Structure 1
Amino acid sequence: MSPTNRKEPQTSGIFYGLGVGPGDPELITLKAARLISQCDVICYLCNDANSDKPGHSQSKDIAQALINERATKAVEIAIPMPYKRDRTAANSAYDQAAEKIRIALQQGQTVVFLCEGDPLFFGSYSYLQERLCDEFTCISVPGISSPNAASAVAGIPLTMQKENYAVLSGRLSDEKILSHLNEFDSLVLMKVGQSRPRLVNLIKTSGRLHETVYVEYATREQQKVIYDISTLSAEAGPYFSLFIVTRQQREQ
Structure 2
Amino acid sequence: MSEDPTILARTAAEHVAKALSVPRIDIALVLGSGWSSGADDLGESLGELELGDVPGFSKPVVSGHGGRLLAIRTASGKVAAVFTGRTHYYEGRGADPVVHGVRTAAAWGASTLVLTNGCGGLNPAWAPGTPVLIRDHINLTGDTPLHGATFIDLTEAYSQRLRDLAHTVDPDLPEGVYVQFRGPQYETPAEVRMAGILGGDLVGMSTTLETIAAREAGLEVLGISLVTNAAAGMGDSDLNHAEVLEAGKQAGPRLAALLSDIVKTL
Greater RCO, 1 or 2 (C-alpha within 8 Å, sep 6+): 2
Shorter-chain TM band = 0.3 to 0.5
Which of the pair has more CA radius of gyration?
A: 1
TM-score, normalised to structure 2, is: 0.34
| TM-score between the two structures when normalised by the length of structure 1 | 0.36
